[in-house]
Structures are given as C-alpha cells and as structure tokens.
Amino acid sequence: MPHGNLTNCWQKLFNSAIIAAEPSICMAPSYTLHVDFGIMCQISAIQYVVNIGSGLVLMGYSSALIPMKELDDETLLWHVELCPHNKQFDPFELQTIRSSWLRTLNLNYLRIKRAVVGSIPPPIPQSCSKEEACPM
C-alpha cells in the first residue's frame, strides 16, 4: 500500500505487516488503525509530551502523534508524522501543526478516549460532485 497520504499515515510505522481483526468485505478508500492509547504510543515510540501553541503533541525521537479531532464522544482521531531526516525530530518541524488540529492541555482527556490513527479524507467542495475534478 502506498504511504504517501495522510489517510494511511500510520502505515509508515511498519516496514511490513498484516493487521486484521476480520476479513474485509470491500476495499475502502481510506484505512485507519483502531488501537488502545498505550499501544498507539508504544508503536509510535513516544517518549515525551510537548506543549505547542496551547496543545499537546506526543513525541518520540523520530515520530510524533498529533490529536486531530474528536470523532464522537468516545473517540479521537490521531495523525502520525515521521521525521524526514536522521536527526531527532524537532517539534517545530511538524507539518501537521500548521493546519487545524485538536488543541488541549489535558493529557488525561487524550488518554481516556479511544484512538483512531489516520485521517478522514477532506470533504468535497459543495460546488463539485464526486465525479467532477475539482481544483484544490
């Protein structure tokens, strides 16, 4: 599977793997990883938490987990960003924090929610249909 988009960001954490709870009936255009908060942090090699612009980001040596948004009352959407070079990741190099993300200083709030890692595709502009090619 390609690793190039935000939807499949979590796949970059694995060189190769098959993760399945049950057989898939159909192929979806986006894939997310549903995982426990602690396991998400272990897979991503998270070591510490940083406050960036009044929001918490979970950091490892070469990885970061950014809370993106609340999907429902019990679930948070997370994005994984991996360092593009062989040095320690500087939190201010993160590309994801340049756009909209869930800013909270309450680590317990982040910890108690179910974690979904990946991203939801951006909505199609109202002036376009799915069949039309729309300039972004």
Lookup: tokens for 44: 């991503």
Q: Answer for the pair 75, 35: CB distance below 8 angstroms, yes or no.
A: no
Q: Is pLDDT at 65 greater than 70 in this prediction?
A: yes
Q: DSSP letter for 108, please.
A: H
Can you give the pLDDT at residue 120? 55
pLDDT per position as a tens digit, 78-113: 999 999 888 899 999 999 999 999 999 999 999 999
pLDDT per position as a tens digit, 113-125: 999 998 655 544 4
Can you give the pLDDT at residue 61? 94
If residue 107 lies in a helix (H) or strand (E), which one and from where to where?
helix 107-112
Residue with tokens 């249909």: 129
